[in-house]
Amino acid sequence: MRIDILTLFPDMFQGPFSQSIIKRASDRDLVNIVIHNIRDYTHDRHHVVDDYPYGGGAGMVLKPAPIFQAVESIKPETGHQGEATGGGASAAPVILLTPQGRLFCQGIAQEIAKCHHLILICGRYEGVDERVRDYLVTDEISIGDYVLSGGELAAMVIVDAVVRLLPGALGSDASALDDSHATGLLEYPHYTRPPVYRGWAVPEVLLSGDHARIAKWRREQAILRTLRRRPGLLEEATLSEEERQLISKTEQSGFSMSSSSEQE
Ligand code: ADE
């Protein structure tokens, strides 16, 4: 997968992208992340990327030309066939990071992880010229209902969530399948040695070696944790009749009957 990121602050990406899973995925050529400084696509002496808003008002607006030129310079480099208008089924998505975008979630990460090529544009200042939205970007994504100083941190969040889904990026592919949200549920609790720490014991079932019992316990814990913390997620989750009964019983008991760890 190739990911091009357009930003005014390329150095921000150095730390996060040179560590851990993203670093390993890059080293294994599972992903090629290319950072572009939008300022490099200006042609004036002072490399101006922003200007006052037409109609007045506070703040500056990112000019369209450097952003269009950056995206258009990337497309031929990667043999891209789509129009600069963002059309064409095979075209790489051109995603603007903005608090006005659709809310990022695991489903969107999975959708993006299927792409061979992706272009992320990090907005800054008060916003970007609307023609970038209208004629260049194919999608707008927000990572949450709060305002960041720019799209860079949002781009890092998206890249991290997507790269860990690429086959071979994690130590074991099974770990991504069990993640919170991958199943539509929050993840079950984890324990490691020692079996008793400060008097707090690991749930007995996990030491039993009985894989079927362990799988059942984990699934129940995931459901109970989701019920307590994010009940809305259960509406979308695929649950068996038995699991639905577990939820009803737990609700009827005022949540007091949840077993072992899920008792916060
Ligand atoms: N830029 C500023 N705030 C943002 C957010 N919440 N998500 C994505 N991009 C942003």
Region 184-193: what's the mean pLDDT? 97
Measured CA to CA, the distance from residue 85 to residue 94 in angstroms comes to 10
**Helix pair 211-229, 241-252: axis angle to 10 deg:** 50
Ligand 1 centre and the CA of 127: distance in Å? 11
Which atom of ligand 1 is found nearest the CA of 149?
2
The pTM for the full model equals 0.91
Pick the more confident residue, 82 or 184: 184
Looking at residue 261, its pLDDT comes to 61
Active-site positions?
99, 126, 164, 179
Model confidence at 125, pLDDT cuts 50, 70, 90, reads confident
* Nearest CA, atom 4, ligand 1: 99
Verify whether ligand 1 is closer than 6 Å to residue 147 (CB atom). yes
Condensed to tens digits (0 to 9), the pLDDT of residues 54-95 reads: 999 999 999 999 999 999 999 776 654 444 444 444 689 999
Residue of 95, 148, 152 to mutate, ligand 1, most atoms within 8 A of C-beta: 148
Could you tell me if 17 and 23 are in contact, meaning their C-beta atoms sit under 8 angstroms apart? Answer: yes
Which atom of ligand 1 is found nearest the CA of 98?
9
Structural domains of the chain sorted by starting position, each given as residue range(s) with its CATH number in brackets: 2-171 (3.40.1280.10), 178-262 (1.10.1270.20)
Verify whether ligand 1 is closer than 6 Å to residue 98 (CB atom). yes
Nearest to 121 by CA among 100, 152, 166: 152
pLDDT beyond 50 at 220: yes
